[in-house]
C-alpha cells in the first residue's frame, strides 16, 4: 500500500555509497547488530517504526512526534516529541496505527504545582536534541530539550523506560519529577469511556481504552499496567483535559463531541531523584489490565534495564545471524542497507499469541499483517528463507483466523479486519509456504479449504475479506467494470487489477491443489488463472499526455458485463500521470487499477510470463516494454507492484538486465539514510526488497522460484535455522564497484548450472551456487531451457538471444541519471514483434486445462 500522493511524488534523488570509498570490516565474527540502522525510513514517508522492539514484538516503545507522517511513531523530520508510547506498527500508510498509552516526563511543574504542568499532548509537545537519538536493536533513546533523557528497551509485551532528569527543572528549582500517562493514541481515535486508575500507595497506573484500527473496520480495546521504580514516590492523581488533582485517583473519560478525544490520564510525582533514574515499566495487553500487569511482572520482574536490553539484543542477533556475508571491499553503506532491510522484515507482523480476546484457540495469533497485498511479494517469502518456523506460525494464525472469522485476512491490524486492496492475497502467502515445504504444525487440508473459500464464496462485505464479483468471475472470466453484484458489497473499482490478482490467486490455489492431489481443482483453478487474457486488448494503444505515441500496442483494458470494451488510459495512475482528476486508491471514484497504471499491471501475470511475452510480441518487444516502463518513470519503485518488474527480464532470457536494473534502484532509491526509502516501508516490504535484491535471489512469490542475480557481496551464506545446512552464493571476479555484475557462468554444487533461477531446496539442502562474473552480458541463462517455469510455452526465442553481448552498455555510475542507461534496441531477434501480439498469442499453443 502506498498512501503517497502518486501524482506529486518527486523522484528521490538521495544518492549514497559512492562505491568502495571505504573498506568495511572483514571480521567474520563482527556483530551483525552494528549494521542495523533503524532510522532508515524515519522521514520522507518511509513511516518505519525506529524504536525498541523484539522480533515480531507486541511492545514497541519509541518517542512519538507530532509529524504529519508519524505512522511509525518517531520521525526525523524536525517534529516535536509528544510522549513515549508502547505499541506501534511499522511502515504503514493509512492513519497512524496504535501509539497507545503515552508517558511524558517533566522534571518539575511551575510553582511545584501539579497544575503547573501541561497535560494535553498538543501543549506539552517539545523538541529534542537531534544529536542525542540512539536507535539500536531492542533500544531507543533521546534527550528532550527540557534536559530529560529518555531511553527504553522492551520484552514481548512490556516496555521499560528510563528517565534521567537534570538537577534543576525548567523553572530553576531542584527537579521533582512528574511522569504522566496519557490515554491517547497516535491518530486520536480513542472512543468513549476510557478509564484510568492510580494506586495511591504504589503509584501503579492501570487503564484501558477503545480505539479504531488505522486501515480497517471495527474497534479494539487495549489495556496497560504501569509501575515505577527508582524514585521516592511523592503523590499521584489523575488529569482531565488541562487540569490535574492529587485528590482523585480514578477517571472514566468521554471521547467528547468535538471530534477530538479529551485528554485524560494519570500521573505520579517523585521527590528529587538526584542522579538516579526513574524507571517506568509498562505492560500491555489486549485481554485485561490484570494480564498487562502479569505480563510485565513476569517479563521484567526487577526493572533490570541492562539485562532486558541485552536479552533483546540476543533475540535479534539470533534472528539475523543465520545470514552472513563477506564484507571484503564493500562500502559500509551497502552492508548497513542489507542488514537494516533484513531487520525491518521482522518488526511486523506482530506475535499476539495469548493476547487475542476474539476467540479461544491453541493456535498462534499474529496481527499487523499490514497489508498482505504488500507482504506477499517479498516479505513473507524472505521470512520463509530466514525464519521458517515463524512463517509456519504465521500461516497457522492466518488459517485460524479463517476458522474463527470465516475468511483469511487480506489485511489485519489491531484485532480488526483491514481493507482488501485487490485479490485475496493470503492465498499467495499460503501457496508460497506450501510449495516451499513449510509444514510445521500446519493443517494444509484446512489451509486449502480457506483458499478455496476465497475462490468460491463471495463475502457479503468484500471490502474486508475475500473477493467481489465472483458470479462474473466464474461466468464471464473477468471482473467487469460496473459489475452487477448483488451478493456482496465493496468498492466497485479496480476491475482490471482485481482480474489480474484473482487470476494469480487462482494459479497459486491450483498449485496447492496439485500438491494435495486435488487434480480436478488443480485443473479448474489453472483454467481460471488464465482469465487475465480476457482483458487483453490487442489493438489498445498508449499515448503520453502531450499526444506522443508511446509506440506500444496491446494493453489490458476494462470490459463491461456485455463484453464490450471500456477504456482506461494505460498511463492513468502511473507515476507520470499528472491529471489532477486521476483517483488511484480505494476511493469509490477510483480507477480500474489500484495504485498503479495499466502499464505496470501489464506485467502482473507472474505465472504465465511465456504467454504474456507472446502477447507483447516476443522477448525483444517484451524487454523493450519493460525498459520503457522503468526508463520513462512510468513505474515507481516506492510501491510494491513495481518489485517484480525489476527482475522480470529473466523471463525474456535477459538475466543481465535484471542485475543492471537492481543496481539502478539500489542504492539510488533505497539508501541507508533517514530519508532513504522511496515509499512506505509497509511492515518491512521495502526492507525485504532490499534484502532479497542484495542477496541475489529474488522470489516470484507463490511459486517455488528464485531469480538469480549476483549478490552485492563477494559471498552470502544463509544457514537454515531448522536443518542447520548452509546455502552459499559466491561471486567469482567480484567487483565492489559493481561493474562486473553479469553472470558469465555458474555452478551449483560444483556442476555447471545454466538455469537463471533456482528453487527453495537451495536453502533447505544448503547448496552452493558459484557465479563467475564479468563486465558484459553473456549467454548464461538465456536459452529457453534456462528460463523459469511458466504456464504457457515460451515461443519466439532465438537460439542466440544475447550473443551480441557487447551491445549492453554499462553506463550506470550511480549519478542518478536514469536515461541512456538501458539499451533500447535489443539484440537482433530477426524481427520486431512489438505489435505482433495476436500472431504470437495464436502461435503460443498454450497448455489449457
Ligand atoms: C537530525 O539528524 C539526522 C541525521 O542523524 C538528519 O537526517 C535530520 O535531518 C536531522 N533533523 C533535523 C531536524 O535537523
Ligand atoms: C459510557 O458510559 C456511560 C455511563 O456508564 C454509558 O451511559 C455509555 O453508554 C457508555 N458509552 C459507551 C460507548 O459504552
Ligand atoms: C480494436 O479491436 C476491436 C476488437 O477487439 C475492434 O472492435 C476495434 O474496432 C479495433 N480498433 C481499432 C482502432 O482497430
Ligand atoms: C511527450 O512526452 C514524452 C514523455 O515525457 C516525451 O518523451 C516526448 O518527447 C514528448 N513529446 C513532445 C512532442 O513534446
Ligand atoms: C455495453 O455496455 C456499455 C456500458 O453500459 C455500453 O456503453 C455499451 O454501449 C454496451 N455495448 C453494447 C454492444 O451493447
Ligand atoms: C542445529 O543446531 C542446533 C544448535 O547447534 C542444534 O541444537 C540442533 O539440534 C541442530 N539441528 C539439526 C537438525 O541438526
Ligand atoms: C562447464 O562450463 C565451463 C565453462 O563455463 C566449460 O568449459 C565446461 O566444458 C562445462 N562443463 C560441462 C560438463 O559442461
Ligand atoms: C535453433 O537452432 C536449431 C539448429 O540450428 C534449429 O533447428 C531450431 O529451430 C532453432 N530454434 C529456434 C527457436 O530458432
Break the chain into its structural domains and give their ranges. Answer: 50-318, 352-602, 607-849
- Minimum-distance ligand 7 atom for the alpha carbon of 744: 5
Whole-number Å distance between alpha carbons of 91 and 687:
10
**pLDDT computed for residue 811 by the predictor:** 25
Ligand 6 lined by 389 (C-beta under 6 Å): no
Q: Residue with the nearest Cα to atom 13 of ligand 6?
A: 723
Pull the grid cell for residue 250.
480514578
Contact 106, 146 (CB under 8 A): yes
DSSP string, 314-360: HHHHHHHTTEEE--TT--HHHHHHHHHHHHHTTTSSEE-TT---S--
Contact 702, 360 (CB under 8 A): no
> How many other C-beta atoms can be found within 10 angstroms of the C-beta atom of residue 167?
11
**pLDDT computed for residue 84 by the predictor:** 98
The phi-psi region of residue 808 (left if phi > 0; otherwise alpha if psi is between -120 and 50; otherwise beta) is beta
Q: In the predicted model, what is the mean pLDDT of residues 242-250?
A: 98
H-helix or E-strand containing 615?
Answer: helix 609-616
**pLDDT computed for residue 494 by the predictor:** 98
Distance from the alpha carbon of residue 76 to the mean position of ligand 1, in angstroms = 6
Whole-number Å distance between alpha carbons of 149 and 152:
10
Can you state the angle between helices 305-320 and 332-344, rounded to 10 degrees? 100
Question: Could you tell me which of 795, 760, 810 has the C-alpha nearest to residue 431?
Answer: 760
Question: Could you tell me which of 678, 658, 15, 32 has the C-alpha nearest to residue 346?
Answer: 32
| 159 CB-side CA count, 13 A | 35
**Residue that the C-alpha cell 551483525 belongs to:** 32
- Minimum-distance ligand 2 atom for the alpha carbon of 193: 1
pLDDT in tens, 798-845: 744 433 322 222 222 222 222 223 333 323 222 222 222 222 222 232
Q: Residue with the nearest Cα to atom 13 of ligand 1?
A: 78
Q: In the predicted model, what is the mean pLDDT of residues 37-43?
A: 98
**pLDDT computed for residue 259 by the predictor:** 62
- Minimum-distance ligand 1 atom for the alpha carbon of 133: 5
Look over the chain and give the mean of its residue pLDDT values, rounded to a whole number.
Answer: 91
In this prediction, residue 849 has a pLDDT band, given cuts at 50, 70 and 90, of very low
Whole-number Å distance between alpha carbons of 680 and 684:
9
Query: Which of 732, 746, 747, 752 best tests ligand 7's pocket when mutated (most atoms within 8 Å of CB)?
Result: 752
**pLDDT computed for residue 2 by the predictor:** 56
pLDDT in tens, 742-769: 999 999 999 999 999 999 999 999 999 9
Q: Residue with the nearest Cα to atom 11 of ligand 7?
A: 752
Backbone φ and ψ of 396, nearest 5°: -60, -40
pLDDT in tens, 456-473: 999 999 999 999 999 999
Whole-number Å distance between alpha carbons of 299 and 199:
21
pTM summary value: 0.91
Ligand 7 lined by 754 (C-beta under 6 Å): no
Whole-number Å distance between alpha carbons of 737 and 79:
37
Pull the grid cell for residue 209.
481504552
Whole-number Å distance between alpha carbons of 483 and 788:
35
**pLDDT computed for residue 843 by the predictor:** 28
> Worst-scoring range by mean pLDDT, 76-90, 679-693, 815-829?
815-829
Query: CA 150 → CA 106, 160, 166, 273, distances in Å?
Result: 11, 10, 12, 15
Collapsing DSSP to helix, strand or coil, 195 comes out as strand
Whole-number Å distance between alpha carbons of 124 and 583:
38
Ligand 6 lined by 725 (C-beta under 6 Å): no
Question: pLDDT: is 187 or 800 the higher one?
Answer: 187
Contact 689, 341 (CB under 8 A): yes
Distance from the alpha carbon of residue 539 to the mean position of ligand 3, in angstroms = 6
Distance from the alpha carbon of residue 192 to the mean position of ligand 2, in angstroms = 7
Residues 6+ apart with CB under 8 A from 703: 432, 435, 508, 511, 606, 607, 788, 789
Q: Residue with the nearest Cα to atom 10 of ligand 8?
A: 799
**pLDDT computed for residue 722 by the predictor:** 85
Ligand 2 lined by 192 (C-beta under 6 Å): yes
730-740: buried (b, 16+ CB within 10 Å) or exposed (e) per residue? Answer: bbbebbbebbb
Collapsing DSSP to helix, strand or coil, 434 comes out as helix
Ligand 6 lined by 723 (C-beta under 6 Å): yes
Ligand 2 lined by 253 (C-beta under 6 Å): no
pLDDT in tens, 565-592: 999 999 999 999 999 999 999 999 999 9
Contact 660, 812 (CB under 8 A): yes
Contact 758, 708 (CB under 8 A): yes
Q: Residue with the nearest Cα to atom 8 of ligand 8?
A: 799
Q: Residue with the nearest Cα to atom 13 of ligand 2?
A: 192
Q: Residue with the nearest Cα to atom 7 of ligand 1?
A: 674
Residues flanking ligand 1, CB < 6 Å: 76, 78, 130, 674
Whole-number Å distance between alpha carbons of 96 and 72:
7
Collapsing DSSP to helix, strand or coil, 716 comes out as strand
Q: Residue with the nearest Cα to atom 14 of ligand 7?
A: 752
Q: Residue with the nearest Cα to atom 6 of ligand 2?
A: 193
- Minimum-distance ligand 1 atom for the alpha carbon of 78: 13
**pLDDT computed for residue 560 by the predictor:** 98
Instruction: Give the closest ligand to the alpha carbon of residue 796.
Output: 8
Ligand 2 lined by 310 (C-beta under 6 Å): no
Query: Which of 43, 130, 145 best tests ligand 1's pocket when mutated (most atoms within 8 Å of CB)?
Result: 130
Collapsing DSSP to helix, strand or coil, 707 comes out as strand
DSSP string, 782-838: -SGGGSPP-SS---S--TTTT--GGGS-----SSS--TTSS-SSPPP-SS--TT-HH
Residue 56 has pLDDT above 80, yes or no: yes
Residue 434 has pLDDT above 90, yes or no: yes
Pull the grid cell for residue 812.
550506470
Instruction: Give the closest ligand to the alpha carbon of residue 764.
Output: 6
Q: Residue with the nearest Cα to atom 1 of ligand 6?
A: 724
Whole-number Å distance between alpha carbons of 781 and 654:
8
Ligand 4 lined by 567 (C-beta under 6 Å): no
Contact 409, 398 (CB under 8 A): yes
Ligand 5 lined by 560 (C-beta under 6 Å): yes
- Burial status of residue 227 (CB atoms within 10 A of its CB: 0-12, 13-18, 19 or more): buried
- Minimum-distance ligand 8 atom for the alpha carbon of 795: 13
In this prediction, residue 260 has a pLDDT band, given cuts at 50, 70 and 90, of confident
Radius of gyration of the chain (CA): 27
Centroid of chain to Cα 662: 18
Ligand 4 lined by 547 (C-beta under 6 Å): no
Helices H / strands E in the chain, number of each:
18, 31
Distance from the alpha carbon of residue 335 to the mean position of ligand 1, in angstroms = 21
Q: Which fold has domain 352-602?
A: Glutathione S-transferase Yfyf (Class Pi); Chain A, domain 2 (1.20.1050)
Q: Residue with the nearest Cα to atom 7 of ligand 2?
A: 193
Whole-number Å distance between alpha carbons of 491 and 88:
28
Q: Residue with the nearest Cα to atom 13 of ligand 7?
A: 752
Whole-number Å distance between alpha carbons of 125 and 144:
10
- Minimum-distance ligand 2 atom for the alpha carbon of 191: 13
Ligand 2 lined by 190 (C-beta under 6 Å): no
Instruction: Determine the CATH number of domain 607-849.
Output: 3.30.2080.10
Ligand 7 lined by 491 (C-beta under 6 Å): no
Quick check: bond before 667 cis, omega within 30? Answer: yes
Instruction: Give the closest ligand to the alpha carbon of residue 719.
Output: 6
Question: For residue 208, what are the β-bridge partners?
Answer: 195, 223
Centroid of chain to Cα 487: 32
Distance from the alpha carbon of residue 257 to the mean position of ligand 2, in angstroms = 14
Is domain 50-318 classified as CATH 2.70.98.10?
yes
Distance from the alpha carbon of residue 114 to the mean position of ligand 2, in angstroms = 29
Residues flanking ligand 8, CB < 6 Å: 797-799
Q: In the predicted model, what is the mean pLDDT of residues 239-248?
A: 97
Whole-number Å distance between alpha carbons of 59 and 74:
15
Whole-number Å distance between alpha carbons of 452 and 448:
6
Ligand 4 lined by 484 (C-beta under 6 Å): no
Collapsing DSSP to helix, strand or coil, 495 comes out as helix
Ligand 2 lined by 579 (C-beta under 6 Å): no
Q: Residue with the nearest Cα to atom 4 of ligand 6?
A: 724
Ligand 4 lined by 544 (C-beta under 6 Å): yes
Whole-number Å distance between alpha carbons of 181 and 159:
13
> How many other C-beta atoms can be found within 10 angstroms of the C-beta atom of residue 8?
8
| Per-residue 3-state assignment (H helix, E strand, C coil) for 229-265 | ECCCEEEEEEEECCEEECCCCEEEECCCCCCCCCCEE
Instruction: Give the closest ligand to the alpha carbon of residue 631.
Output: 4
Distance from the alpha carbon of residue 558 to the mean position of ligand 3, in angstroms = 14
Collapsing DSSP to helix, strand or coil, 766 comes out as coil
- Burial status of residue 819 (CB atoms within 10 A of its CB: 0-12, 13-18, 19 or more): exposed
**pLDDT computed for residue 1 by the predictor:** 57
| Per-residue 3-state assignment (H helix, E strand, C coil) for 658-690 | HHHHHHHHCCCCCCCCCCCCCCCCHHHHHHHHH
Residues 6+ apart with CB under 8 A from 443: 396, 399
Q: In the predicted model, what is the mean pLDDT of residues 226-241?
A: 96
Beta strands in 487-643 (DSSP E): 536-543, 549-556
Distance from the alpha carbon of residue 198 to the mean position of ligand 5, in angstroms = 67
Whole-number Å distance between alpha carbons of 481 and 52:
46
**pLDDT computed for residue 105 by the predictor:** 98
Query: CA 373 → CA 125, 290, 378, 499, distances in Å?
Result: 35, 36, 10, 14
Ligand 7 lined by 745 (C-beta under 6 Å): yes
Whole-number Å distance between alpha carbons of 360 and 672:
43
Question: For residue 245, what are the β-bridge partners?
Answer: 238
Collapsing DSSP to helix, strand or coil, 113 comes out as coil
Whole-number Å distance between alpha carbons of 360 and 375:
27
**pLDDT computed for residue 721 by the predictor:** 87
- Burial status of residue 751 (CB atoms within 10 A of its CB: 0-12, 13-18, 19 or more): exposed
Instruction: Give the closest ligand to the alpha carbon of residue 253.
Output: 2
In this prediction, residue 29 has a pLDDT band, given cuts at 50, 70 and 90, of low
Sign of CA dihedral 448, 450, 453, 458: negative
Contact 415, 361 (CB under 8 A): no
Distance from the alpha carbon of residue 253 to the mean position of ligand 2, in angstroms = 10
> How many other C-beta atoms can be found within 10 angstroms of the C-beta atom of residue 544?
13
Q: In the predicted model, what is the mean pLDDT of residues 309-322?
A: 97
Question: For residue 348, what are the β-bridge partners?
Answer: none
Whole-number Å distance between alpha carbons of 466 and 471:
13
Backbone φ and ψ of 260, nearest 5°: -135, 120
Instruction: Give the closest ligand to the alpha carbon of residue 567.
Output: 5
Q: Residue with the nearest Cα to atom 12 of ligand 1?
A: 78
Instruction: Give the closest ligand to the alpha carbon of residue 483.
Output: 5
Amino acid at each position: 500500500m502506498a498512501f503517497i500522493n502518486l501524482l506529486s511524488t518527486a523522484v528521490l534523488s538521495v544518492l549514497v555509497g559512492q562505491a568502495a570509498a571505504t573498506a568495511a570490516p572483514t571480521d567474520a565474527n563482527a556483530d551483525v547488530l552494528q549494521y542495523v540502522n533503524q532510522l532508515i525510513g524515519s522521514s520522507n514517508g518511509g513511516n518505519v517504526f525506529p524504536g525498541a522492539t523484539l522480533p515480531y514484538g507486541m511492545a514497541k516503545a519509541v518517542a512519538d512526534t507530532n509529524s504529519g507522517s508519524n505512522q511509525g511513531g518517531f520521525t526525523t523530520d524536525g517534529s516535536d516529541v509528544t510522549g513515549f508510547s508502547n505499541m506501534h506498527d511499522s511502515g504503514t500508510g493509512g492513519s497512524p496505527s496504535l501509539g497507545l498509552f503515552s508517558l511524558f516526563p517533566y522534571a518539575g511543574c511551575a510553582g511545584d504545582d501539579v497544575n503547573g504542568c501541561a497535560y494535553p499532548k498538543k501543549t506539552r509537545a517539545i523538541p529534542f536534541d537531534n544529536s542525542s537519538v540512539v536507535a539500536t536493536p531492542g533500544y531507543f533513546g533521546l534527550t528532550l530539550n527540557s534536559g530529560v533523557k529518555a531511553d527504553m528497551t522492551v520484552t514481548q509485551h512490556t516496555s521499560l523506560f528510563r528517565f534521567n532528569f537534570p538537577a534543576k527543572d525548567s523553572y530553576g528549582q531542584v527537579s521533582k519529577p512528574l511522569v504522566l500517562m496519557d490515554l491517547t493514541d497516535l491518530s486520536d481515535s480513542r472512543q468513549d469511556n476510557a478509564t484510568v486508575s492510580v494506586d495511591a500507595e504504589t503509584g501503579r497506573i492501570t487503564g484501558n481504552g477503545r480505539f479504531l484500527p488505522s486501515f480497517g473496520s471495527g474497534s479494539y480495546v487495549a489495556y496497560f499496567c504501569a509501575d515505577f521504580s527508582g524514585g521516592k514516590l511523592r503523590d499521584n492523581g489523575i488529569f482531565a483535559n488541562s487540569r490535574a488533582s492529587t485528590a482523585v485517583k480514578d477517571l472514566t473519560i468521554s471521547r467528547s463531541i468535538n471530534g477530538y478525544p479529551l485528554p485524560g490520564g494519570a500521573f505520579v510525582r517523585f521527590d528529587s531523584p538526584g542522579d538516579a533514574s526513574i524507571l517506568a515499566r509498562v505492560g500491555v495487553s489486549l485481554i485485561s489490565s490484570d494480564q498487562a500487569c502479569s505480563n510485565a511482572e513476569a517479563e521484567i520482574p526487577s526493572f533490570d534495564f541492562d539485562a532486558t536490553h541485552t536479552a533483546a539484543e540476543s533475540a535479534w542477533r539470533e534472528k539475523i545471524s543465520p545470514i552472513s556475508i563477506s564484507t571484503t571491499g564493500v562500502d559500509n553503506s551497502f552492508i548497513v542497507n542489507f542488514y537494516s532491510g533484513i531487520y525491518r522484515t521482522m518488526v511486523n507482523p506482530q506475535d499476539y499469541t495469548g493476547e487475542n480476546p476474539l476467540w479461544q484457540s491453541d493456535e498462534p495469533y499474529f496481527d499487523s499483517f499490514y497489508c498482505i497485498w504488500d507482504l506477499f511479494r517479498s516479505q513473507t517469502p524472505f521470512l520463509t528463507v530466514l525464519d521458517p518456523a515463524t512463517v509456519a506460525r504465521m500461516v497457522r494464525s492466518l488459517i485460524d483466523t479463517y476458522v474463527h472469522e470465516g475468511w483469511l485476512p487480506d489485511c489485519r491490524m489491531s484485532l480488526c479486519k483491514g481493507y482488501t486492496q485487490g485479490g485475496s492475497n493470503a492465498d499467495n502467502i499460503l501457496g508460497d509456504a506450501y510449495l516451499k515445504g513449510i509444514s510445521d504444525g500446519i493443517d494444509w487440508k484446512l489451509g486449502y479449504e480457506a483458499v478455496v473459500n476465497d475462490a468460491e464464496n463471495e463475502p457479503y462485505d468484500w471490502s474486508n475479506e475475500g473477493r467481489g464479483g465472483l458470479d462474473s468471475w466464474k461466468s464471464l472470466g473477468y471482473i467487469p467494470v460496473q459489475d452487477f453484484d448483488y451478493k456482496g458489497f465493496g468498492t466497485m473499482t479496480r476491475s482490471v487489477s482485481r482480474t489480474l490478482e484473482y487470476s494469480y490467486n487462482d494459479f497459486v490455489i491450483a498449485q496447492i491443489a496439485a500438491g494435495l492431489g486435488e487434480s480436478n481443482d488443480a485443473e479448474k483453478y489453472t483454467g481460471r488463472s488464465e482469465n487475465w487474457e480476457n482483458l487483453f486488448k490487442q489493438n489498445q494503444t498508449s499515448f503520453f499526455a502531450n499526444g506522443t505515441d508511446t509506440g506500444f500496442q496491446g494493453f489490458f483494458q476494462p470490459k463491461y458485463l456485455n463484453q464490450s470494451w471500456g477504456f482506461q488510459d494505460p498511463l492513468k495512475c502511473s507515476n507520470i500521470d499528472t491529471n489532477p482528476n486521476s483517483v488511484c486508491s480505494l476511493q469509490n471514484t477510483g480507477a480500474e487499477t489500484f495504485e498503479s497504471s495499466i502499464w505496470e499491471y501489464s506485467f502482473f501475470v507472474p505465472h504465465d510470463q511465456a504467454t504474456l511475452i507472446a502477447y507483447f510480441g516476443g522477448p525483444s518487444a517484451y524487454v523493450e516494454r519493460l525498459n520503457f516502463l522503468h526508463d520513462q518513470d512510468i513505474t515507481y519503485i516506492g510501491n510494491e507492484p513495481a518489485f517484480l518488474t525489476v527482475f522480470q527480464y529473466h523471463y525474456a532470457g535477459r538475466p543481465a538486465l535484471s542485475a543492471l536494473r537492481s543496481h539502478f534502484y539500489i542504492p539510488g532509491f533505497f539508501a541507508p539514510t533517514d530519508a532513504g526509502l522511496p515509499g512506505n516501508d509497509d511492515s518491512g516490504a521495502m526492507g525485504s526488497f532490499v534484502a532479497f535484491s542484495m542477496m541475489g535471489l529474488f522470489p516470484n512469490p507463490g511459486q517455488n522460484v528464485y531469480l538469480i542475480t549476483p549478490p552485492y557481496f563477494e559471498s552470502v551464506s544463509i544457514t537454515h535455522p531448522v536443518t542447520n545446512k548452509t546455502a552459499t552464493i559466491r561471486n567469482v571476479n567480484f567487483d565492489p564497484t559493481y561493474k562486473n555484475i553479469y553472470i558469465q557462468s555458474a555452478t551449483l554444487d560444483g556442476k555447471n548450472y545454466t538455469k537463471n533461477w533456482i528453487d527453495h531446496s537451495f536453502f533447505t539442502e544448503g547448496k552452493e551456487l558459484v557465479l563467475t562474473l564479468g563486465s558484459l552480458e553473456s549467454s548464461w541463462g538465456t536459452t529457453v531451457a534456462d528460463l523459469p517455469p511458466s504456464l504457457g510455452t515460451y515461443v519466439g526465442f532465438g537460439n542466440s538471444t544475447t550473443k551480441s553481448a557487447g551491445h549492453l552498455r554499462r553506463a550506470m555510475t550511480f549519478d542518478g541519471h536514469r536515461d541512456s542507461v538501458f539499451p533500447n534496441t535489443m539484440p537482433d531477434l530477426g524481427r520486431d514483434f512489438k505489435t505482433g501480439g495476436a500472431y504470437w498469442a495464436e502461435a503460443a499453443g498454450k497448455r489449457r486445462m
